[in-house]
Amino acid sequence: MKQFTAFCGVLAATTGLTGTMALAGGIDRSGQPVGVLFEKGNYVELSFGQITPSVSGHDLAGFGGAATGGVAGKHNLPGLAIKYDFSDKLSGALIYDNAYGADIAYPAGSSFMLGGTSATVDSEGLTALLRYKFTEQFSVHGGLRASKASGHVALRGRAYGPAFDPADPATYQSVNGYEADLAPDWGTGYVIGAAFEKPEIALRVALTYFSKVTHKFDTVETLPGGAAAVLGAATVNAITETDTPQAVNLDFQTGIAKDTLVFGSIRWVDWSNFEVAPGTFFGPRLGSLTELEDTTTYTLGLGRKFNDNWSGSVFVTYEPGGDRLVSPLAPTNGYRGLGVAAVYTQDNMKVTFGARYLDLGNASPETGTPDNAVAEMRDNHAVAVGVKVGFTF
């Protein structure tokens, strides 16, 4: 059992840090881990991660070739989780995370096609879970998730004009200058899953489903000049109904030798049904401000216990790219990553340090006017670092 606990320490440290998916899956950030449910005994942890992306490119030569400058901002990922055993069979957990987010801004005065375009998305959520063990091998888990989200989008540059609406081109000739501010809103969803374990060989396979969460944002739309003149208002109020996507996580681990563990995960996210379409001006005529594809992200790693105090792991991550034509608001296309984690254990305390390098896939932003690239983003990367402190009690 002592060996199994050490294995779990390595795994929990690694998967917690691999959750920092810089620019992965559109706006996926935390990966929604539920590993705290499988900690032994009562347990609490506090974590902090930081992602520093480097994403830049240039307008295509036919549009002048101007550099975009750096378009992706650094972001922080605080986290808190607590797990409590109510009995030998029933336990619960409360998890705070930032599941989704975005910080994209094309510096004004740089790219002729996209300069001034920006998108920010902020979210935070609380997930309350219960786990019931039928036997030492089989268990189920599930609960509720409450999520708060907000956002702001600004469309700027020659790529967002001229005519966007063929049904009424005289009225709406451009969305260059359009903005949407989405006020914070809470929504709720559910989580359900099951796990199979063989503690004697550190085997665990856990499958978890996360439902969509529906938000209804109070929205202020700032209209481009032509539309403002026709409607007689520079701004209008709207309601934007948006579903953050459903997702499925498959997590697994198994011991392969004394003090050595193989682990991994597969995460699928239903981004193709994620739409942001403010209802007064943009939505009815122009469709969604976003256009993302479903993503599947793979992680595979090796963990090793070195002595009673130190464990470590190395892991690779991969998210296949999709269509190279992407939204300017999500200007990357898949990634490959390499990460390391180290865990120091002393008495009831466990401290985890981790880092990951991501090679972000090349992409060509387009604005659907028509579906032709206006810029190219190449040779980009991101670095993620994190620390986590956990205590059993």
What is the domain count for the chain?
1
Q: Which domain holds residue 209?
A: 2-392
Which CATH number goes with the domain that contains 165?
A: 2.40.160.60
How many CB atoms lie under 10 A from the CB of residue 138? 12
Q: Is the pTM of this model over 0.85?
A: yes
Q: What is the reported pLDDT for 369?
A: 59
- Mean pLDDT split into 10-residue runs, the chain, 393 residues: 46 49 62 94 96 95 95 93 97 95 93 94 96 97 97 92 51 76 97 96 97 96 79 86 95 95 96 86 73 91 96 96 90 95 96 96 85 92 95 96
Q: What is the pLDDT of residue 367?
A: 86
Residue 375's nearest CA partner among 97, 159, 182, 96 is 159
User: How confident is the model at residue 282, as a pLDDT?
Assistant: 72
pLDDT for residue 308: 93
Tally Cβ neighbours within 10 Å of residue 173. Answer: 17
For residue 359, the one-letter residue type is: D
The answer for residues whose C-beta is within 8 angstroms of residue 229's C-beta and 6 or more apart is none
